Every structure is written in structure tokens, then in C-alpha cells.
Amino acid sequence: MPAQDATVAPTVAPTDDATDAPTDAATDAATSDADVDLLVARTRFGADGLVPAIAQQWDTREVLMLAWMDEAALRETLTTGRGVYYSRSRGGRWAKGDTSGHVQAVREVRLDCDGDTVLLLVEQAGGACHTGDRTCFDADRTVVSGGQE
Amino acid sequence: MPAQDATVAPTVAPTDDATDAPTDAATDAATSDADVDLLVARTRFGADGLVPAIAQQWDTREVLMLAWMDEAALRETLTTGRGVYYSRSRGGRWAKGDTSGHVQAVREVRLDCDGDTVLLLVEQAGGACHTGDRTCFDADRTVVSGGQE
């Protein structure tokens, strides 16, 4: 459960409004080394050194996948603009698309309120899921009764 | 990293197309006890008994928050249609909105390709974040240079 920690208050590119409009990154400054260090410092990795990262297609807002990042993966993503993760099954660096060609160009990285979840706004080439589906959440859906307003 | 497991192939309400269009739940059958059992059986909880759950506003597709569910929370969410989680900080059940009134009506529950992440499509009342923001990802954004197509 999110618990606000004053020590992780945003200091880089905060936005005061609560809209979720994708940033037009072309008009913004480049990511500096200082920006990268600040964001990494604010990220609260788990006991296993990993943080969950949600990849969302920046324009359609599809949730594509959830994967994990260690500090090295987060730094590489921030400095190269390409989605790089930590593969828990293989125990090492996983550059999305190295095998499939389905790379992710990362436009924006957001941290949640307590810094323990990353949200990536990406341009996903091809399917994000190794099954060939556009997203990892396309195949298995259950409608919930009683959940309508 | 998603690794397809034939034993968790979808058997409930699969969709063949890869679109992310929200389901018009009003036209679908109610969630049966069997549906709940099947979905819970396909969910791969971690060693700590928890699975990450992404809450997304069903129509605007904003990613609102990431929280955690144990089996009891997932069952309660499926059977009541209300977003219920497991609070890692408090070590127990957390029914979203009990304190704030900002409840989540859950319209659809999706599992990812290997069953270890849950995506909830919800109608969020008020702000999802305890800070008052609409989402937990509104306050801390870093634009990534080099991530443009």
C-alpha cells in the first residue's frame, strides 16, 4: 500500500496537473545524467534488488506487459531510450526485442507515489507478448459480475 | 520474463482478437463460482503468496496504481466486483476505499500470458492515489531522450 515518503518527493520534471496526457517529448529537454541519478535514487528496489515495471503503449494506452528491472536495467533504459529489463527466469539482462525484434522505444518513465513501481510509456514495435499477441493480457479475460457502476 | 505454460492456457472467456477494447460486461454472463476457481487456479502467486495487480481505468485506460493480491483478495475481488488487495505494509486485507471512499468497481480481470500478473479494468471513484492524485503515477515523470521513434 502506498505510503508517502517525504524523502522521495519528486524533484525532476514534476507535473502539477493530474492529467495523464502523454508528454510530447520532442519539446522537452534530453535526459541528463543528473536526471538519471535522481530517478534511480528515488526508486525503491525490493529485497531482491528488483522493481516491477509496467509497459504501456503511449498513445493507445494499452497495458502491454509487466516485467522487472534491477538498477542496471533502469539506468540502461533511461540512458538509451530502449526498454531493458531483468529476466527473473534467466537471471540476467533482457533487452526487449533482441530475439523478436519487437523493441520498445521508451518515451517517458514514471515512478509511483512511493517509488516502488515504474511505469514506462513506450512505442512498442510488433507484439509485446512472446505469444504473438499485442499485449500479454489479451488471451485470458474474465468479466466480473457486480462490478458495474 | 513470460514463458508460456500450456497448463495455464485460457479456458474462461478467451478472446481471439488482439484488440484491447473494454468488454461490454452488461452483455456477458455473470462470474460463476467455477469461473472464479478457474482463474484463481491459473494465477501463479509468488513465493510470498502474492501477485502484482495493475488497476487501470477501463475507459480512459489510465494506469491508476499497482498493488498486491493474495488468493483471498483475488477471490473477494472476483466475487464482489470490488477491488480488494493485500497490504504488504499492514500485512493484511485492504479493501480499496474503505478509508477514503475511493472504491474501485471491477469490470474485468485479466491474467497475463504466464499467469503471474493481474490486470484489473476498474471504474475508479475519486483519486486512486492516497496523495489525492488521480493516479499514483502523476507526480514523478522523467522524459527519456533517445526514446522517440
Please name the residues in contact with A142: beta carbons below 8 A apart, sequence gap of 6 or more: B12, B13, B31, B35, B39, B78, B108, B109, B110
Cα nearest neighbour of B55 on chain A: A63
Provide, as residue numbers in chain B, all residues whose Cβ is less than 8 Å from the Cβ of A6. Answer: none
Q: Is residue A99 assigned to a domain?
A: yes
CATH number of the domain encompassing residue A123? 3.10.20.810
Q: Which range of residues forms the domain containing residue A37?
A: 33-139
Q: Is residue A94 assigned to a domain?
A: yes
Which parts of B4-115 fold into alpha helices (H)? 33-42, 71-80
Residue A108, amino acid: E
* Burial of residue B90, with CB atoms counted within 10 A of its CB: 0-12 exposed, 13-18 middle, 19 or more buried: exposed
Q: Is residue A8 assigned to a domain?
A: no
Say if residues A64 and A57 touch (Cβ distance below 8 Å).
yes
Reading phi first (left if > 0) and then psi (alpha if -120 to 50, else beta), residue A31 is in beta
Q: Is residue B5 assigned to a domain?
A: no
pLDDT single digits (tens) A11-47 = 344 344 444 444 444 444 457 889 999 999 999 999 9
Say yes or no: ipTM exceeds 0.90: no
**What phi and psi, each to the nearest 5 degrees, are found at residue B137?**
-110, 15
Predicted TM-score (pTM) of the model is 0.81
Please give the mean pLDDT across all residues of chain A: 84
Please give the mean pLDDT across all residues of chain B: 84
Query: To the nearest whole angstrom, how far is the Cα of A86 from the nearest Cα of chain B?
Result: 8
Query: To the nearest whole angstrom, how far is the Cα of B133 from the nearest Cα of chain A?
Result: 6
Q: Is residue B40 assigned to a domain?
A: yes
Query: To the nearest whole angstrom, how far is the Cα of B128 from the nearest Cα of chain A?
Result: 10
Radius of gyration of chain A (CA): 16
Look up residue B84 and give its three cell numbers.
480488494
pLDDT single digits (tens) B36-64 = 999 999 999 999 999 999 999 999 999 99
- Per the structure, the count of domains in chain B is 1
Q: Do A144 and B23 touch (CB under 8 A)?
A: no
Q: Is residue B51 assigned to a domain?
A: yes
Q: Do A25 and B146 touch (CB under 8 A)?
A: no
Cα nearest neighbour of B84 on chain A: A1
Does residue B24 belong to the interface with chain A, where contact is any CB pair within 8 Å?
no
